[in-house]
């Protein structure tokens, strides 16, 4: 089993060492042989240097830094998935680098894949989830989830979580989502494409804690942009155009 954990980072210097220690412990405790792929595209706080200093004392976990020009969250994760597939990953995981996604919960996502899911989504919006965040953020995420459920009927409630596990087939499917759709547009598009491609999807409750340093992604200033990106994805879904990207891959994604 070759597991690749894709971790997009933008100025996460303060979290890197703790994240690494906890990932190492999890990998050791669960005999998870994994590559942690940090995808950084313009941190200015020493994140990349911190990743390059990471060393592993055991054979379970290895760090790798993928460094490139600033292209944003969706492009970073898309590139990470592409590279992981190229490396022959048999399981792909994506998670934030800010400790809001707990490394200790990775094995539950992996177990969902082992139990037959092709895409497992760590969710703040299903019973059993624990979620510490400012009220405005919870309200925003819940309203967004509700609106999207009414407009596009995605296969999961939490369409904006980046804590996900993929089989190689599901990851290949995810590459059909254009990173140019923007952060939340892309995260939503992956969910909608999974449903269309009949990818078996599981939604698991997680314990999520927004870091005190705040979100790199969400800010009132960016909301109009996010709204228009998501509206575009909903429109593409309704027109069916979102799924054209799936056509060339369909043979390999969902042979029927």
Residue window 161-180: x/- pattern of binding to ligand GDP, with contact defined by CB under 6 A? -x------------------
Q: Which of residues 91-120 bind Mg ion (CB under 5 A)?
A: 96, 98, 100
Report how many residues bind ligand GDP under the rule CB under 6 A.
19
Strand partners, 4: 35, 92
Q: Per-residue x/- marks for ligand GDP, 7-26, CB under 6 A?
A: -xxx-x--------------
Would you say 30 or 222 has its CB closer to ligand GDP?
A: 222
Distance CA 43, CA 225 (A): 22
CA distance 34 to 23: 10
Interface with ligand GDP (CB under 6 A), residue from 108, 216, 222, 232: 216
CA distances 155 to 40, 83, 148, Å, are: 30, 26, 11
Selected binder of ligand GDP within 3, 94, 100, 172 (CB under 6 A): 100
Q: Which does 8 bind (CB under 5 to 8 A by kind): ligand GDP, Mg ion, none?
A: ligand GDP
Residues 134-163, interacting with ligand GDP (CB under 6 A): 162
* Residue 98 or 118 with smaller CB distance to ligand GDP: 98
Tell me the three-class secondary structure of 3-30, residue by residue. Answer: EEEEEEECCCHHHHHHHHHHHHHHHHHC
Only one residue has tokens 């979100």, namely: 215
Q: Is 105 in the site for ligand GDP (CB under 6 A)?
A: no
Q: How many CA atoms lie within 13 A of 106 on its CB side?
A: 31
Helices (H) and strands (E) in the chain, counts: 9, 9
Q: Are strands 61-67 and 34-40 parallel, antiparallel or unpaired?
A: parallel
Q: Which of 24, 96, 118, 203 binds ligand GDP (CB under 6 A)?
A: 96
| Binding residues vs ligand GDP (CB under 6 A) | 8-10, 12, 39-41, 72-73, 76, 96-98, 100, 162, 215-218
């Amino acid at each position: 089993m070759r597991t690749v954990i894709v971790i997009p980072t933008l100025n996460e210097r303060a979290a890197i060492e703790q994240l690494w220690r906890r990932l190492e412990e999890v990998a050791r405790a669960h005999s998870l042989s994994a590559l942690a792929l940090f995808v950084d595209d313009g941190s200015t706080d020493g994140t990349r240097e911190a990743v390059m200093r990471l060393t592993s004392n055991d054979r379970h976990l290895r760090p790798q830094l993928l460094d490139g020009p600033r292209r944003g969250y969706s492009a970073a994760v898309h590139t990470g998935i592409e590279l992981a597939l190229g490396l022959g990953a048999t399981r792909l995981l994506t998670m934030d680098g800010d400790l809001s996604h707990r490394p200790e919960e990775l094995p539950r996502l992996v177990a969902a894949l082992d139990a037959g899911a092709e895409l497992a989504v760590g969710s703040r919006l299903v019973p059993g989830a624990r979620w510490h965040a400012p009220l405005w953020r919870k309200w925003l995420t819940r309203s967004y989830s509700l609106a999207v459920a009414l407009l596009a009927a995605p296969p999961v409630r939490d369409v904006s979580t980046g804590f996900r596990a993929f089989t190689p087939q599901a990851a290949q499917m995810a590459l059909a989502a254009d990173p140019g759709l923007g952060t939340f547009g892309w995260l939503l598009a992956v969910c909608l494409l999974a449903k269309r491609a009949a990818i078996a999807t599981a939604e698991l409750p997680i314990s999520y804690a927004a870091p005190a340093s705040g979100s790199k992604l969400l800010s009132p200033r960016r909301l109009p942009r996010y709204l228009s990106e998501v509206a575009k994805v909903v429109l593409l879904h309704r027109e069916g155009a979102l799924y054209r990207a799936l056509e060339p891959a369909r043979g390999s994604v969902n042979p029927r």
